[in-house]
Structure 1
Amino acid sequence: MENNTFLEGKIAAPLIRFAIPLMMSLVLQALYGGVDLMVVGKFGTTASISAVATGGQVMQAATVIITGLTMGVTVLLGQAIGAKKPEEAAHIVAGQIKLFTCIALLITVVLVCFAKQASLLMRVPEEALPETITYIRICASGMIFITAYNSVSGIFRGMGNSRSPFLFVLIACTINIILDFVFVGLFHMSTAGAALATVIAQASSFFFSIVYMKYTKKRRLPFRLKLSDFKQKGAVRRIISLGLPIAAQDFQVTVSFLIITSILNSLGVVASASVGIAEKLFVFLALVPMSFMSALSAFVAQNVGANNISRATKAFFVAVRISFCCGFMVFLLTFLQGDFLASIFTNDPEVIASTQLYLKSCSFEYLLTAINFCMLGYFNGRGRTKFVLLQGVLTVFLVRIPLSYFLSRLPGTNLLIIGIAVPMSALFELLLCIGFFIKLQKEKKVVMP
């Protein structure tokens, strides 16, 4: 296991070693939607781009529920391992299996049955509506595999192992890219082919992870999972208590993107495609702060379990310095080269020009997000997930959505003006996080979930 370096010795080296596989995993995960959008954009129409972009956001709204709860599992497992309590760790994993199976089945049924209603709610342009519905229904059918993959990855991260999840997603991404070109480029299946490629890739990733965990001795769980562990009720409650605020935070952020996309979809298919491209780019461009958010959650959680808050706080400042330096470079890239970034996904000059305007406004967000995400990871590791949820709700519903709507209704508005809402909401979030961080440093008591 890799978790021993979290609790002693230098901070920067083990934190970076843990963050790099996370970063690479996020790159590959981003390629799922990114390659779907790129291949469909090169071989399909503007309506197809809109369908994949909007359908992908609907699926993301469902997936973040799982990833948020998975973060709760990672934190709880990390604290149990840090406190040297293997039986408690086994209870948590058993609780995760029970809880996630039920949630995956529920999400599948809801999305398959209500894909059309979700698309209409998103104000999908009429010419993109049929393909959007098809994309959502096919992807939803593979929700059980998406859930299973995230479950296994969350367990490994809680153990301090970020390399194995990277291997799983590398295999899945490779399959997804190959099948995208086969289904979309060769067989001209458009959005249906992109969705089918994603489902097959996720299923392959999950089955490989099971075989890998069973037959690789060094990667087996550091505890035995027994039938009696599944009878424990407290683990499910603790996962929900800690993970639900994280899931709700991620969900409401994604819902805000859906609402903003819905607002901008009313401006036409070009605006819809432009914002969809910008959102796909965000996943790539915010890789470093997102990686440190996950890395800090695990690192801080283990040190909280070992009652070493000072080390956890030092790790936070190390992550902020690295993240902000990278954020500054991304700011320059999006502010100066938005047209180049947009051209990766489409050849349509109108969409490229529109995306460039939006990215220029949004570019300032990357300076602020570099700090915000590190703070959220620190708060998650400290078990303060309720604040993470609260600040997210306030940021989205008091600033981002109202401001986006207001700016979209101004006479002669364009995406350059509307995009101002993005950095303004990030600034508001930063002020909230700084205030809570100062408050948290004054507390002496360690709060355990």
Structure 2
Amino acid sequence: MADDRNITRGAIFAQAWPIILGQALMPLVSVVDVAVIGRLSDGRNLGGVALGTTILNLVFWSFGFLRMGVTGITAQAKGARDDEEVCATILRSLALGLGLGVMLLALSPVIVPLGLRLMAAPAGVGDAAHDFLTMRFLGAPAALGFYAINGWLLGLGRTRLALGVQALMNGMNIGLDLLFVGALGMGARGVGLGTTLAEWSALAGGIAAIALVLGPDWRGQLRTIGRARLLDMAAVRRLVVVNADIMVRTLALLAIFTWFTRSAAALGPVPLAANHVLMQMVSISAFVLDGFAFTAEARVGAAIGARSRATLLRAIRLTGEFSLGGGLLFSLAIFLAGPAAIAFLTHDAAIRGLANAMLPYCAAVPLVGVASWLLDGIFIGAIAGAALRNAALVALGLYLLTDFTLKPMGDAGIWIALLASYAYRAMALGFAVPGLLRRSR
């Protein structure tokens, strides 16, 4: 039985800070992409990267369950002290990730033009987006395989190892971005190629991390996982069912951000580029604050695996305190430092002007969104996929209704609808919390 006294604010922060740093590096790569393209090119190329990134996120993060589902399953196996299932989980999930990545690569000649058509790419933007996406799909197997490894490491609480692999990928990404785009002038194609090469390096680093976690006899440990255990139908069925629910949840949330970008694209290249500049600040805050949500995943999963309700409640309370404080700090930081960040990211006067006008809405996102991010972590750790799925579908439906209603307000209406989507999701998940606590008994 786990002891709730072992969970202190210091322990929570010690587990969260490597995730926070690693998460901060992820949007930093996108910020570098935007800065290089925004300062060395025009709004059409910046819009092309924005559209390409949106399409890629929609496709790749449809398989984000490889990270989220694996974290919860691994954490519960660890809490139950089932070391054999911990090993079997990474083998199953890594094989699934690599297989799905190969499938995406094979389908990319169909996915890329279809995505650009559905996004209604403005004139001059589509070519840059096509070049970017063609390069990025070459890294699909590595990206999805790394999702599984990252989720496994987080589920085990090995956040420093996860940080190390993340730093390897993002450091290479930034360096290659500056080389291919800044020095060689490869434009959007260079951005995509640099990221792809970095993803394959991260996969190699992740496999090395698995060996480090399992110890010197890691090969022997993996070989001892018999085929019967590896293909255990109950475990495989659980992985599929949980991942299916999380996949629907992820698709619904990605649809929100895809519609957000599409709505801006319908207003023209300037709103599209301005919103993409602002979304870099939103991404940084969301990725960093996800450090506490990821900590909640591991802590909640371990508490449920150990059948300790007291540990579960304490984990929820302490990660909630950190999340709320972080959301407030990020909102203030974006509001105060936003104008300087906008000026750094783009030299286009029209894009700067609109981005500054929309900055107050952008600054509100961390404070409004933090509850939904934390609740996501709690329910992922509990492997409560149905609640996550239902909340995301409710949020998507209400968001679309709000966006259509606020269309006369232009770009301001687009931002208000996005803010409302976070509130809708937090309320839907909040209604499911009592049921989660009842089941924990």
TM exceeds 0.5?
A: yes
- Alpha-carbon separation, structure 2, partners of 1:397 and 1:223: 50
- In structure 1, the residue matched to 2:274 is 274
Instruction: Report Cα offsets for 1:335-371 as digits up to 9, x if no partner.
Output: 4543223223211121112122233123333222222
1:416 corresponds to 2:412: yes
Of 97-106 and 14-23, deviating more is 97-106
Q: Aligned pair in 2 of structure 1 residues 209, 94: CA closer, same or farther (>3 Å)? A: closer
The structure-2 alpha-carbon separation of the partners of 1:245 and 1:419, relative to structure 1 and needing over 3 Å to count, comes to same
Q: Distance in 2 between matches of 1:170 and 1:282?
A: 20
Maintained 8 Å contact 2:4/2:314: no
**Structure 2 SS opposite 1:123:** coil
Q: Does 1:403 align with 2:402?
A: yes
| Equivalent-residue separation in structure 1 for 2:219 and 2:432 (angstroms) | 35
Structure-2 separation of matches of 1:69 and 1:308: 26
SS at match of 2:345: coil
Using structure 2 for the length normalisation, give the TM-score: 0.92
Residue identity opposite 1:405 in structure 2: F
How far apart are 1:7 and its partner, in Å? 6.6
Whole-angstrom CA distance in 1 between matches of 2:286 and 2:95: 32
Distance 1:308 1:378 in 2: 15
Query: Match of 2:301?
Result: 301
Q: Which moved more, 1:223-232 or 1:170-179?
A: 223-232
- The amino acid that maps onto 1:404 is D
> CA separation of 1:221/1:406 partners in 2, compared to 1, >3 Å: closer, same or farther?
farther
Cα offset for 1:76?
Answer: 0.9
**Partners in 2 of 1:216 and 1:335 — Cα distance?**
41
Question: 1:9-408, aligned counterparts within 5 Å?
Answer: 9-214=6-211, 224-226=221-223, 228=227, 229-398=229-398, 400-408=399-407
Indicate the larger mover: 50-59 or 27-36. 27-36
Q: Distance in 2 between matches of 1:287 and 1:256?
A: 17
> Which structure 1 residue ranges, 5 or more long, are not aligned?
none
8 A contact 1:75–1:380 mirrored in 2:
yes
Structure 2 distance, partners of 1:43, 1:196, is 18
RMSD: 2.3
Counterpart CA distance in 1 for 2:199 and 2:138 is: 11
How far off its partner does 1:220 sit?
Answer: 7.6
Q: Distance in 1 between matches of 2:252 and 2:204?
A: 31
Q: Tell me which amino acid in the other structure corresponds to 1:437.
A: V
* SS of match in other structure, 2:185: coil
Percentage of identical aligned residues:
20
Q: How far apart, in 2, do the equivalents of 1:185 and 1:74 lie?
A: 37
More displaced stretch, 148-157 vs 290-299:
148-157
Give the counterpart letter for 1:308 in structure 2. S
CA contact (8 A) 1:361 1:417 kept: no
Greater displacement, 86-95 / 13-22: 86-95
1:84 partner SS? coil
Q: Is the 8 A contact 1:270 1:351 kept in 2?
A: yes
Aligned length: 438
The SS at the match of 2:325 is helix
Preserved CA contact (<8 Å) 2:31 2:280: yes
Superposition deviation, residue 426 in structure 1: 2.2
Call closer, same or farther: CA 1:208–1:92 in 2, change over 3 Å. Answer: closer
- Structure 1 pair 434–223 and aligned structure 2 pair: CA distance change class (3 A): farther
Checking the alignment, whether the CA contact within 8 Å between 1:55 and 1:135 is kept in structure 2 is yes
1:221 offset after TM fit, Å? 6.1
Equivalent residues of 1:303, 1:312 under 8 A apart: yes
Sort the Cα spacing of 1:42 and 1:91 in 2 relative to 1 into closer, same or farther, 3 A: same
How far apart are the structure 1 equivalents of 2:166 and 2:251?
Answer: 22
Alpha-carbon deviation of 1:375? 1.6
* 2-structure distance, mates of 1:211, 1:269: 43
Cross-structure match for 2:428: 432
Change in CA separation of 1:220 and 1:246 when aligned onto 2, cut-off 3 Å: farther
What letter is aligned with 1:172? M
Query: Alpha-carbon deviations, 1:183-210, whole Å to 9, x = none?
Result: 1111110000010000111111222333
Cα distance in structure 2, aligned partners of 1:379 and 1:324: 18
> In structure 1, what is the Cα distance between the partners aligned to 2:287 and 2:231?
39
What TM-score does the superposition give when structure 1 sets the normalisation length?
Answer: 0.91
Query: Which of the two has greater helix per residue?
Result: 2
Render the CA deviation track for 1:141-176: whole Å, top value 9, x for unaligned. Answer: 111111122222222112210111111111111111
Q: Are 1:70 and 1:243, in contact at CA under 8 Å, matched by a contact in 2?
A: no
Instruction: Tell me, yes or no, if the aligned pair for 2:395 and 2:425 is still in contact at 8 Å.
Output: yes
Q: Evaluate the alpha carbon distance shift between residue 394 and residue 44 of structure 1 in structure 2; reply closer, same or farther with a 3 A threshold.
A: same
Measure the CA separation in 2 of the matches of 1:76 and 1:260.
32
**Structure 1 residues 5 and 438: CA distance shift in structure 2, 3 A:** closer
Q: Is the 8 A contact 2:69 2:239 kept in 1?
A: yes
- C-alpha contact (below 8 Å) 2:33/2:177 kept by paired residues: yes
Deviations 1:56-75 (A, max 9, x none): 11111122233323211111
CA drift at 1:310: 1.8
Amino acid at match of 1:30: P
Shift in alpha-carbon separation, 1:359–1:204, aligned structure 2, 3 A = same
Amino acid across the alignment from 2:298: A
Amino acid at match of 2:292: F
Query: SS of the counterpart of 2:307?
Result: coil
Q: Distance in 1 between matches of 2:188 and 2:212?
A: 37
